[in-house]
Structure 1
Amino acid sequence: MTHGQPDDLSLQNGQNVSDQATAQPDGSLGTPAGAEQKVSWLELFFDLIFVVAFDQLAKRLGDSVSLENVGVFALMFTAVWWSWSGNSTFAARYGNESRVYRWGTVAQLVSMAMIALAERGDLEETGGFFAVAFGLNRLIHAALHLWADRQSPEALAYSRAVAAAAGVTGALWLGSALLPGGGRAQLTLWGLALALDILAPILIRQKGLQALPHEAHLPERVGLLQIIALGTVITEIVSGGRGQRLSAATLLPAFLSILTTVALWRLYFDQARSLPLLAAHLAGRVGSMLAWLYGHLPFTLSVVMLGVGLGHGISSGKASEIDRFQPFVVWSLAGAFATLAFLRWNSRRVAGQRGLDRSLVTLLAAALGAALLSRPDLDTRQLHGAAALLTVTAAVLVATDPATRRLGQLEQRVSEVIEERAEALQPEGT
């Protein structure tokens, strides 16, 4: 116990880490807990498609600041993120070395490229194409899980349930292609299909205990996606400055925006990112794991929207244009801080810690501070300067918080316990 904070992960039945077994069922298709599972070159290639997908969505959002366009952007972004999540969690649950997974990922990669092609255009013309491409993506995902239930019988209930959900939603997406492109009926059906897809793992979470994602592989994939999203911000900043004459007046907002991006990177990677997943392996706390995974959707969305606001603020010299894109900076930054606060709270809850620590208070205060930036009428340099000051200050306070270090040490200790358990369960001579 350090300063009133637990040093052990609270587990079921009041046990701590050292008392919990981490056995992997015999014949399991996935990588056993504690064993190494590296991100493959194919997975990296698959993730690179999302560089294009995020860039196209950012450009689509920048075309119009209307609430309708923001809503369509959020809907399409959720679909793109869910496609990435499905492939990443499948690889983390069932392994990434099988031939079927590799060919399935190639097929999903092609479908994602088709989705990216349809993201920028007018949905009246491209809505049907987007729906067909995403519907095929879901059907491929369903087929992968049907294959998994034959290879991993202990996870039969979970894989079949996911396959059924993906199959139904895939059919809904394909059916929506017959509706008028971009119309209310088509968008409503998209929203319904996504809601069913996202709710399915929550409703069947206890069935997933026999096929938990690898405790190191999934956080690595999630971290890679956040780097891609932060890279989108840099792309928007550079694109915004491309049409401006290089001078101190134009370089300063770009420099401040890059500082904001770097500080967000530090804030995210300073967190104990694997604790909820480790708790699922050691204590069956699947709900905390799903909260951790799903919490990355609003964070990634906020980061990409922030890039649009920063980039357009740099590119436009007109006060009216700056005012139009100011909400994309302040509310997206507030959303990023709020999501980081939620992820911090979730990790603390998993570790058995109650109340607020300095980092959690800092993140909540930063979210409020970012929201308050919507009230004053700020020019580009003032707005970007305030955003940079807020983000850098928060990053310093979180990085120097002793509670952050303790959570990291706890995460490392739990990981070592899982590795020791895995080694103890291996037959002699292997």
Structure 2
Amino acid sequence: MALDKHPMWKAPQHHMDSDHQHDHVHWIELFYDLIHVVIIFLLGNYLSDHLNPIGFAIFTGVFIAIWFAWADSSVFNSLYVSTDIKHRFIMSSQIVTAMVMAASIPHIHDKGWMYFALAYSANRFITAYLYYRTDRLGIEETVLANKVSKNFAALTVIFAVSALIPAPYNYLLFALGIISIQLLYMLPKIGVLECSRFLPRLGHMSERFALLVLIVLGEGFFKLVITLSEKGIYKVSPDVLVNFIFGGISVFVLCWIYFDFVGNGKPKNTKKWTLVSWWLAHLLVMLAAVMIGVALSGEVKVGFWEPYPLKYATIGCIGLAVYLLSLLWIQKNIEYRVAHRFATAKIRFLGVFLAMITLVVVPFVPALIGNLLWGSALFSQIAIPVTKAYVTFQKEEASEP
């Protein structure tokens, strides 16, 4: 076999130019996703330790920044099928930058910032180099790779400078860089989305989104189990154990409603706004999932009869509302599936309404009542569609000749 036909030495190739492209995620990409288990866990810990408006703002900003770094790398790997040995070394370097970012998170509001911003800058530089390499090798004959590599190279400088200047200017400059990333994708005429070959493998990206959602939701189990293990499972009362079980089932149902109704769903068309909506809605779904995971860790901090901790309840109720609205947004932008007949906007809005009612009453009622209300908001999103589907399919079957 010639070297250039073996995955270890075969040059990167745009998926539109390949006769053998597929949508499955490569193990290198999966390994890159795994480091985000640590990042998301540490981000959740940061939010738990800083449950106040400033802490939430920092958590949200850092999550968005890390999500874009992950997504930009995923888009490259979706556009260009790259498995050669040099690409593997490049990806290993990008994994190292993610490791440094993760280690910086517990102290990101002070001495950890410089390390985070410099690692983020290096991460952006590596993404720029991936595109530059495809351009230099002549793999991309249009302006696409050259354009994106220049964009990310410029952003590399912005993020590096933000590591070295004093607060609050460092945060403002960094935020400007994050906003610029999206503008360089979306702006009319000059945005990368205007390039005809800027069309990732939609099945591949939907699988990447689904895998990261699974990772993000799985952090909710981490939070619950670690919180209880640190407290001592033998020390807690039976009602705390019931709350613990309720939290675990809730995480499972969150996965259920994502995968049944939108998981692995491809956009219904390749129009720019459809792709942008699909992209941003997944960002919000994952952000909300982390919020809910942190909120559920409060289940082992309270029994049945005292009120649920208000700070945890606040991010849990708002997180659930955002999660359900984001699912609806994704559903509107992906290909139709049978489940969409029963997961209607009315059901999603019912869940949002119940979540907001829970937020209003939770300081004044026992945690048992708060859990029942919040659980009704969540479990209704499965119970109602499944019941409607069962009844509908039974009637349709009975009416068949």
| 2:244 corresponds to which of 232, 251, 254 | 254
Q: Secondary structure at the match of 1:199?
A: helix
Partner AA of 1:186 in structure 2: N
Counterpart of 2:355 in structure 1 is 370
Partner AA of 2:61 in structure 1: L
Counterpart of 2:41 in structure 1 is 55
Greater alpha carbon shift after TM alignment, 70-79 vs 359-368: 359-368
Please tell me whether the aligned partners of residues 203 and 266 of structure 2 are also in contact (alpha carbons under 8 angstroms): no
Counterpart of 2:330 in structure 1 is 343
Q: Distance in 1 between matches of 2:205 and 2:227?
A: 33
Which structure has more relative contact order (CA 8 Å, sep 6+)? It is 1
Q: Secondary structure at the match of 2:51?
A: coil
Say if 1:174 and 1:391 are closer, same or farther in 2 by CA, change over 3 A.
Answer: same
User: What is the deviation of 1:201?
Assistant: 1.6
- Which ranges in structure 2 are unaligned for 5 or more consecutive residues? 1-11, 394-401
Deviations along 1:22-41, one digit per CA (max 9) or x if unpaired, are xxxxx952264884243222
Counterpart of 1:270 in structure 2 is 260
- Cα RMSD for the two superposed structures: 2.9
Deviations along 1:285-336, one digit per CA (max 9) or x if unpaired, are 2331221122111110111111111103422569688122210111111111
Q: Distance in 2 between matches of 1:319 and 1:152?
A: 66
Counterpart of 1:123 in structure 2 is 109
Say yes or no: does 1:225 pair with 2:209: no
Say if 1:329 and 1:74 are closer, same or farther in 2 by CA, change over 3 A.
Answer: same
Counterpart of 1:29 in structure 2 is 14
Q: Distance in 2 between matches of 1:176 and 1:126?
A: 13
Deviations along 1:358-406, one digit per CA (max 9) or x if unpaired, are 522211221222122111024333333322232122123345666xx99
User: What is the deviation of 1:99?
Assistant: 3.1
Counterpart of 1:196 in structure 2 is 180
Say yes or no: does 1:165 pair with 2:151: yes
Please tell me whether the aligned partners of residues 118 and 163 of structure 2 are also in contact (alpha carbons under 8 angstroms): yes
Q: Secondary structure at the match of 1:178?
A: coil
Q: Distance in 2 between matches of 1:125 and 1:373?
A: 38
Please tell me whether the aligned partners of residues 240 and 302 of structure 2 are also in contact (alpha carbons under 8 angstroms): no
Q: Secondary structure at the match of 1:156?
A: coil
User: What is the deviation of 1:153?
Assistant: 5.3
Say yes or no: does 1:307 pair with 2:307: no
| 1:396 corresponds to which of 376, 383, 387 | 383
Q: Distance in 2 between matches of 1:101 and 1:289?
A: 27
Q: Distance in 2 between matches of 1:312 and 1:141?
A: 38
| 1:148 corresponds to which of 122, 128, 134 | 134
Q: Distance in 2 between matches of 1:276 and 1:136?
A: 31
Q: Distance in 1 between matches of 2:388 and 2:201?
A: 29
Say if 1:49 and 1:292 are closer, same or farther in 2 by CA, change over 3 A.
Answer: same
Partner AA of 1:210 in structure 2: R
Q: Secondary structure at the match of 1:210?
A: coil
Matches within 5 A, 1:316-335: 316=302, 322-335=309-322
TM-score, normalised to structure 2, is: 0.84
Deviations along 1:187-243, one digit per CA (max 9) or x if unpaired, are 111111110112222222543431421132211111110011011111111123221
Counterpart of 2:284 in structure 1 is 298
Say if 1:359 and 1:249 are closer, same or farther in 2 by CA, change over 3 A.
Answer: same
Say if 1:392 and 1:123 are closer, same or farther in 2 by CA, change over 3 A.
Answer: same
Say if 1:252 and 1:198 are closer, same or farther in 2 by CA, change over 3 A.
Answer: same
TM-score, normalised to structure 1, is: 0.79
Partner AA of 1:270 in structure 2: D
Please tell me whether the aligned partners of residues 15 and 21 of structure 2 are also in contact (alpha carbons under 8 angstroms): no
Q: Distance in 1 between matches of 2:386 and 2:20?
A: 28
- The count of aligned residue pairs is 370
Partner AA of 1:250 in structure 2: V
- Which ranges in structure 1 are unaligned for 5 or more consecutive residues? 1-26, 407-430
Q: Secondary structure at the match of 2:89?
A: helix
Please tell me whether the aligned partners of residues 341 and 364 of structure 1 are also in contact (alpha carbons under 8 angstroms): no
Q: Distance in 2 between matches of 1:222 and 1:97?
A: 20
Counterpart of 1:207 in structure 2 is 194
Say if 1:319 and 1:158 are closer, same or farther in 2 by CA, change over 3 A.
Answer: farther
Partner AA of 1:229 in structure 2: V
Say if 1:224 and 1:152 are closer, same or farther in 2 by CA, change over 3 A.
Answer: farther
